[in-house]
Structures are given as structure tokens and as C-alpha cells.
DNA sequence: CGTTATGTACACCGCCCTGTGTGCTTACGG
DNA sequence: CCGTAAGCACACAGGGCGGTGTACATAACG
């Protein structure tokens, strides 16, 4: 018991209640929103007693923050670590979002919680900046003239597509990808990229 | 009393409680969010008894929808009706958002309510489509090759800037405006616009 | 075995929320 | 001046919320 504290993996000896709680929060917070999901409902879905939940998390706020932290790798790393794609393709792959995704949970959390000081809001900010940084890294790798600017621009497009998809109930990522392609081609000086194609300008 | 029902202007003979309610909702819903603003608090701010509020609006849902409808003219019309600007300048003026604005209330409502069937969510969708349409009209006026596409793209940029401003707590509209300028110049064929400048490409 | 951490079951608290019921006051208009 | 509609004050219902207290069960590990 000295080896594992209550670290990220959670379960020491029990039947992994912490994991079930986080798994249920992934589903319910995304499907119904944070504010509209009560702890009773969440515990029922996780098949965990409410008492246990409050022994793992000091409160709902902490659970929400942890829920955001857990969501990270499945999206961010999944795109940027694909070595089978060229840098330019990786930048565009960030716009290939499966239509099941309701809305970027970071935006949703920031709007729902409505408190910039909330730990989840702070993490959302950090995450968004990290994404922009990774986009900038990839942009640099692709030979962009101003990678930071391109990264920031692509991040803005992603967030715009996410927000617009939510409001309009229609997938806005293809349109964003078209803009992204144009920006990328504009930002990469000729004879710098690896697989640039001339014929696609704006889609 | 047969002339005025309880139409848009509200007050029949009384002291205009309806107007005060809507005015208070404009402030509180934007500052604190919809879910975090109770009817008690709202009525206190409007100096209106709760009973009166529920005689004007059948419920909070209807009040929220009306709050969104009331917000419309101050932004949308204010930009597109400026005849002192060229069409291209009008398109870019849509990105000149006073930093006081917390977040596009339509996005906030769609996220907070979390129900596409909610009347406010439906109105938010209609509004966003109307904005895109007006942007497309202006884009056509500016001589864009594909006005609908440009309008949709600019709308996406605006929403992205709004969402990103909220999450990062930093103004993202200048960056969006820079992208917009590039897209506009790309979309308008040479010798079509009225005030195009060559030297600004991406800012 | 027993200890200890873990999880369970269930009732319970106080708070705030939306929404009402009731009775009273004000002001406008004929 | 009087009727009526608009608005007010206040209390309360009903429910969901986050969060807790208590007593009990189980699994791991010595």
C-alpha cells in the first residue's frame, strides 16, 4: 500500500469504484452537461454508493476537474502522435472529429461553470493553450513561416467549429478544415512543405 | 386597452415591470449565466415581485427565450446597417467586439440549456443562421466569388473567437479578424472589391 | 486469524430552485 | 369617483441539489 497512493490509476485493492465514477462522468457530463447531472444520478450510473464517491473526491468540483483531465489523451495525443502522417496532414487531421462528439468538453465546462477560478476552468485554459502549442509545433515542423500564429489560428478554427456545431446542430468541422487548408497553404512558403497540393485552394 | 395587447413593448398602463425584468435578465444572464441566476435574484434586481414576473412569463424558459430575442438588434443591426462603411469594412467590423462582452449569449444559452428543443436554443440556431446570411449578403455586395461560403466562414470565425475568448479569458477577436481579412481577400476576385489593399495578407 | 482500507445501503440535512396561492395596494381610464 | 387591471408582499409547496452520518459488508494483507 505504500507503492500506490491514491494515484491516477485509482484502485488499491477494491473493485475500482474510482474508475467507474470517472467513466460514468465521461458519459453523463458529456451527454447531459455538468450542471444537469446530479451526483445521485452519476453514482447510480457508476453503480457506486454516494458515500464512496465522496470518499474519492472531496466534492463535485474536484470530480469535474478530474473528468476533464482524464479526457485529454484520447484526442490530443491521438492526432499529434501519428507518425504515418505528414505534418500538414496531422494539422488537418485535427479537424477530423467523429460526429458523435457533442462538444469540446473544455468549452462546455468553461461556459457551464462560469467561473474562471474553478479548477476545471483553469485546466481547460491550460489544455487549450497546450493544443495551440502542439499545433504550433506541428506547424513549425511543416515549415510554416510563423508557426505560433498558424497554431493559434488553427486552434481558433477548431473552437469555432466546436461551438458552431453545438449551436447549429450541424457538423461545422469540414468548413473549418477548408479554411485551415487555405491558411496552411498561405503560411507555408513555397518549396517548404512536403506534400502541398496546388489545386485545392478553399474547398 | 384593445390596441396594445401584451406585445413587444410590454407595458399597458402599469409601471413597466416587463421591461425591467428583461433589462435585469440582460445583465444577470450575461454576467452570471442563465443557470446560476435564480428567479428570486432576478426579480430583486428588476425590483419586481416574483408574482408579477410569472404573470408576464409563463416560466423561466420563456423568459430566457425572450431575453435572447431582445438582445438581437443591438449587435446584428448595429454592424450591418452602417452605410458609412464599405461592404468589406462592414465584414471586418463584425469582429470589432467591445471587450466588455463576456460571450456570445447564443452560444452560452445553447451550452447552458443543453437542450436543442428548448425555445431559446431554437432561436439561437435561427439567429446564427441569420447572421451567416447577412454576412453572405454583405460578402455578395463586396463581390465575393462564393458569398455563402464566405459568410459561413466568417460566422465560424466569429464563433471561434467568442468561444476562445471565454475559455482563455483573453480577447481572440483580433486574431479572428486577421484570418477574416485573409479569407475576404482570397474570396474576392481581383478588381472586384472597392477598397482592397494588397499589402495586408495575414497581419 | 484479525486489522485495515474499501465499498455499500439508506436515511438525512440544509439550501436553493422554480413556481403558486392569497390578499392587499396602486394607478389609470372611463 | 369608481372599477379594473397591474403590480406588490409574503409565505409556502415540491423537488432536486450537494454533501454527510451511521452502521454494516467485504476484500486484501499481515
Does B103 map to a domain?
Answer: yes
Whether residues B167 and A112 touch (CB distance < 8 A) is answered with no
Q: Are B81 and B22 in contact (CB under 8 A)?
A: no
Instruction: Say which of A35, A153, A175 has its CB closest to residue B153.
Output: A175
Instruction: Say which of A128, A169, A176 has its CB closest to residue B168.
Output: A128
Q: Which three cell numbers stand for residue B113?
A: 440549456
Does B62 map to a domain?
Answer: no
Scan residues 50-79 of chain A and list those with Cβ within 7 Å of strand C.
Answer: 50-52, 55-56
Nearest chain A residue to B175, by CA: A153
Does B9 map to a domain?
Answer: yes
**DSSP conformation class of B189:** P
Interface test with B, best of A32, A68, A164 (most B CBs within 10 A): A164
Supply the angle between the helices A119-141 and A147-168 in degrees, to the nearest 10.
130
| Cα–Cα distance, A149 to A6 (Å, whole number) | 40
Instruction: Tell whether A43 and A65 lie within a shared domain.
Output: no
- Å between CA of A5 and C1' of D29: 16
Burial class for B16, CB neighbours closer than 10 Å (0-12, 13-18, 19+): middle
> What pLDDT score does B73 carry?
63
User: For the CA atoms of B185, B187, B191, B192, what is the dihedral angle to 10 degrees?
Assistant: -120
State how many domains chain A has.
2
Q: Touching check for B155 and chain A: CB below 8 Å?
A: yes
Instruction: Tell whether A39 and A53 lie within a shared domain.
Output: yes
Residue A49, domain CATH: 1.10.10.60
A152 neighbourhood in chain B, CB within 8 Å: 175
Q: Quote the percentage of chain B above a pLDDT of 90.
A: 65
Does A7 map to a domain?
Answer: no
A47-61, B6-20, B187-201, range with greatest mean pLDDT: A47-61
Whether residues A202 and B149 touch (CB distance < 8 A) is answered with yes
Instruction: Tell whether A136 and A46 lie within a shared domain.
Output: no
Q: Touching check for B168 and chain A: CB below 8 Å?
A: yes
B111 neighbourhood in chain A, CB within 8 Å: 33, 103, 107-108, 111-112, 166
Instruction: Tell whether A84 and A147 lie within a shared domain.
Output: yes
Residue B186, domain CATH: 1.10.357.10
Instruction: Tell whether A21 and A94 lie within a shared domain.
Output: no
> What pLDDT score does A103 carry?
81
| Among the listed residues A145, A165, A187, the one whose alpha carbon sits nearest the alpha carbon of residue A95 | A165
Q: Are B95 and B173 in contact (CB under 8 A)?
A: yes
Give the pLDDT confidence of B158-182 residue by residue, as tens digits.
999 999 999 999 999 999 999 999 9
Distance from the Cα of residue A79 to its chain's centroid = 11
End-to-end CA distance of chain A: give it in Å, rounded: 58
Instruction: Tell whether A30 and A128 lie within a shared domain.
Output: no
Instruction: Tell whether B99 and B193 lie within a shared domain.
Output: yes
User: Domain boundary residue among B16, B36, B57?
Assistant: B57
Give the pLDDT confidence of B54-69 residue by residue, as tens digits.
999 999 999 999 999 9
Q: Residue A203: is its pLDDT beyond 50?
A: no
Q: What average pLDDT does range A30-39 have in this prediction?
A: 94
Interface test with B, best of A108, A118, A159, A201 (most B CBs within 10 A): A159
Does A5 map to a domain?
Answer: no
Instruction: Tell whether B4 and B103 lie within a shared domain.
Output: no
Range name among A119-128, A168-177, B133-142, B189-198 with the lowest pLDDT average:
B189-198
Furthest-apart CA pair in chain A: how many Å?
A: 62
Protein residue minimizing CA–C1' distance to D17:
A38
Instruction: Tell whether B118 and B157 lie within a shared domain.
Output: yes
Chain B residues 19-58 within an 8 A CB cutoff of chain A: 32-33, 35-36
> What pLDDT score does A149 carry?
95
Interface test with B, best of A32, A95, A160 (most B CBs within 10 A): A160
Instruction: Tell whether A43 and A123 lie within a shared domain.
Output: no
Domain range for residue B132? Answer: 68-203
Q: Is strand C in 7 Å reach of the CB of B78?
A: no
* DSSP reduced 3-state for B169: coil
Whether residues B124 and A202 touch (CB distance < 8 A) is answered with no
Instruction: Tell whether B78 and B47 lie within a shared domain.
Output: no
Instruction: Tell whether A98 and A23 lie within a shared domain.
Output: no
Does A89 map to a domain?
Answer: yes
Amino acid at each position: 500500500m505504500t507503492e500506490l497512493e491514491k494515484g491516477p490509476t485509482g484502485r488499491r485493492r477494491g473493485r475500482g469504484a474510482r474508475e467507474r465514477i470517472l467513466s460514468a462522468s465521461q458519459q453523463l457530463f458529456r451527454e447531459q452537461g455538468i450542471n444537469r447531472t446530479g451526483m445521485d444520478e452519476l453514482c447510480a450510473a457508476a453503480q457506486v454508493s454516494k458515500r464512496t464517491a465522496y470518499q474519492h473526491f472531496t466534492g463535485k468540483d474536484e470530480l469535474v476537474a478530474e473528468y476533464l483531465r482524464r479526457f485529454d489523451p484520447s484526442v490530443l495525443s491521438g492526432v499529434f502522435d501519428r507518425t504515418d502522417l505528414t505534418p500538414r496532414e496531422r494539422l488537418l487531421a485535427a479537424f477530423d472529429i467523429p460526429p458523435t462528439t457533442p462538444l469540446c468538453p473544455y468549452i462546455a465546462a468553461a461556459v457551464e461553470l462560469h467561473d474562471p477560478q474553478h479548477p476545471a476552468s483553469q485546466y481547460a485554459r491550460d489544455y487549450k493553450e497546450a493544443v495551440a502549442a502542439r499545433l504550433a509545433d506541428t506547424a513549425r515542423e511543416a515549415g510554416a513561416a510563423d508557426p505560433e500564429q498558424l497554431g493559434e489560428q488553427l486552434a481558433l478554427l477548431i473552437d469555432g467549429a466546436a461551438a458552431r456545431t453545438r449551436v447549429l446542430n450541424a457538423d461545422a468541422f469540414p468548413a473549418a478544415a477548408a479554411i485551415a487548408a487555405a491558411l496552411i497553404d498561405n503560411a507555408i512558403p513555397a518549396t517548404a512543405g512536403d506534400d502541398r497540393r496546388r489545386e485545392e485552394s478553399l474547398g
